[in-house]
A and B are shown apart, each in its own frame.
Chain A
């Protein structure tokens, strides 16, 4: 923790996303729809030593509230992530991210003949969580399953 303090100071109010697998911080930001053009302060710390993970990434977002549903989607690329809600420099809430049962948008279906991949239609993808550990998601339209690495490869946000 001391090492962390050297890199980024504590935030007064906001969110700290901790225990992100090393190298996944940028993907996490993409899932959250956070680009470089923000009006709030943001710190990304990558490759921090961690007891649990060996190496980890951390994201600190100041003065910004993200809703729980948005945060849950992080677990598509960072299943180990923990969310710390900070108020007045103190952690007031802490929880591990957990995949929602239904994921709308965010992912694309790998089946080229799936209706969600037909140009000219407005079918938003819907994936249903079938299994945890390892995560298996099922396209609600065509039944195609995606799991493991395929999940990250099928993120529709680039």
Chain B
């Protein structure tokens, strides 16, 4: 089935075939970008970027992808998350922006905003992160990165580390991995930041092969891919507890002495100190490469929906 005029609310809106088709299209986009070709796939099209909480990286990435395809953007951005609490009405904003444009990209601190917007909008809606619910375009970039690095996702052993409870990208990534057949996914987190019950129930239903572990050192030797997310300070009222947990899940050179050759580390960025800076210059670090794939992948998506 074609993605034409479809919404992207959850990564599970896509089939494995559709995702692989997006990968092929992203490869083409990458090629065009390297050849400095100008595309006019979106010429005459307007993309609304409705960002109800700040996320500069994601917004610029969609904006750049639109420009590269010859389209234009309208930006509706809340400066802070709190201005929304004072009665800014999402429904009216969506009605207005859907009248002004051909597609809406929405980011929101509220879980489920993207589906809500798609029910109101007369134009397709792309979810650019709705609370802790889903962030399907980031997951597509993550999967695409793995695919580019390893040539496949099937059969790989993948570690997903950090704040699995609240990190915005985790649910979509695991649902996306469920559409493929990795050998095993290790979920590596402190006990209080394990998957939410609803996410766990869904990956159980989807038949993802996974195991939960409390220490990265137990599994580092098995991993082909290690996906790292930040454990945020505000989850820990006690600073000592935070330091203890932070260090237990920190990626250090010493830890990587036991890594499987060819291990690649991914991170949705921005990162603070969860990965030692000295690792940035090693072959393990794939997060800057991963970030660079954001534009071609989002170009492929926009072109598939509106092209």
B88, B108, B110, B171 pick with most chain A CB within 10 angstroms: B110
Q: Is B112 within 8 A of A115, CB to CB? A: yes
Q: Is B197 within 8 A of A141, CB to CB? A: no
In the assembled complex, the Cα of A67 lies from the Cα of B226 at a distance in Å of 54
Q: Is A141 within 8 A of B201, CB to CB? A: no
Min CB gap B262→A, angstroms: 35
Min CB gap B202→A, angstroms: 7
Q: Is B89 within 8 A of A141, CB to CB? A: no
Q: A residues 10-56 with Cβ under 8 Å of B?
A: none
8 Å CB contact of B131 from A139, A140, A142:
A142
Using A113-B111, A140-B115 as known contacts, say yes or no to A120 and B198 having CB atoms under 8 A apart. no
Using A113-B110, A113-B132 as known contacts, say yes or no to A120 and B115 having CB atoms under 8 A apart. no
8 Å CB contact of A113 from B109, B116, B201:
B109
Q: Is B91 within 8 A of A121, CB to CB? A: yes
Q: A residues 120-158 with Cβ under 8 Å of B?
A: 120-123, 130, 136, 138-145
Q: Is B113 within 8 A of A115, CB to CB? A: yes
Min CB gap B200→A, angstroms: 10
Using A114-B110, A119-B87, A120-B87 as known contacts, say yes or no to A143 and B116 having CB atoms under 8 A apart. no
Contacts of B88 in A (CB 8 A): 120
Min CB gap B235→A, angstroms: 15
Q: Is B89 within 8 A of A120, CB to CB? A: yes
Q: B residues 96-113 with Cβ under 8 Å of A?
A: 108-113
Contacts of A144 in B (CB 8 A): 111, 198
In the assembled complex, the Cα of A113 lies from the Cα of B88 at a distance in Å of 15
Using A111-B111, A115-B111, A119-B87 as known contacts, say yes or no to A141 and B116 having CB atoms under 8 A apart. yes
Q: Is B112 within 8 A of A116, CB to CB? A: yes
Shortest Cβ distance from A139 into B: residue: B112
In the assembled complex, the Cα of A141 lies from the Cα of B114 at a distance in Å of 8
A101 proximal to B (CB < 8 A): no
B111, B116, B202 pick with most chain A CB within 10 angstroms: B111
For chain A, the count of residues having a C-beta within 8 Å of the partner chain is: 21
- When A and B form their complex, what is the total count of cross-chain residue pairs whose Cβ atoms lie within 8 Å? 59
Q: B residues 67-120 with Cβ under 8 Å of A?
A: 87-91, 108-113, 115-116
Contacts of A111 in B (CB 8 A): 111
Q: A residues 78-108 with Cβ under 8 Å of B?
A: none
In the assembled complex, the Cα of A95 lies from the Cα of B90 at a distance in Å of 43
8 Å CB contact of A142 from B90, B91, B133, B197:
B133
Shortest Cβ distance from A144 into B: residue: B198
Min CB gap B53→A, angstroms: 12
B199 proximal to A (CB < 8 A): yes
Contacts of B201 in A (CB 8 A): 130, 136, 145
Min CB gap B114→A, angstroms: 9
Q: Is A113 within 8 A of B131, CB to CB? A: yes
Q: Is B90 within 8 A of A121, CB to CB? A: yes
Min CB gap B286→A, angstroms: 29
A5 proximal to B (CB < 8 A): no
8 Å CB contact of A115 from B87, B116, B132, B199:
B116
A68 proximal to B (CB < 8 A): no
Contacts of A130 in B (CB 8 A): 201
Q: Shortest 3 CB-CB distances between A and B: which pairs? A: A141-B112, A142-B111, A142-B112
In the assembled complex, the Cα of A113 lies from the Cα of B201 at a distance in Å of 20
Using A115-B110, A120-B87 as known contacts, say yes or no to A143 and B115 having CB atoms under 8 A apart. no
In the assembled complex, the Cα of A87 lies from the Cα of B110 at a distance in Å of 50
In the assembled complex, the Cα of A155 lies from the Cα of B267 at a distance in Å of 41
Min CB gap B186→A, angstroms: 23
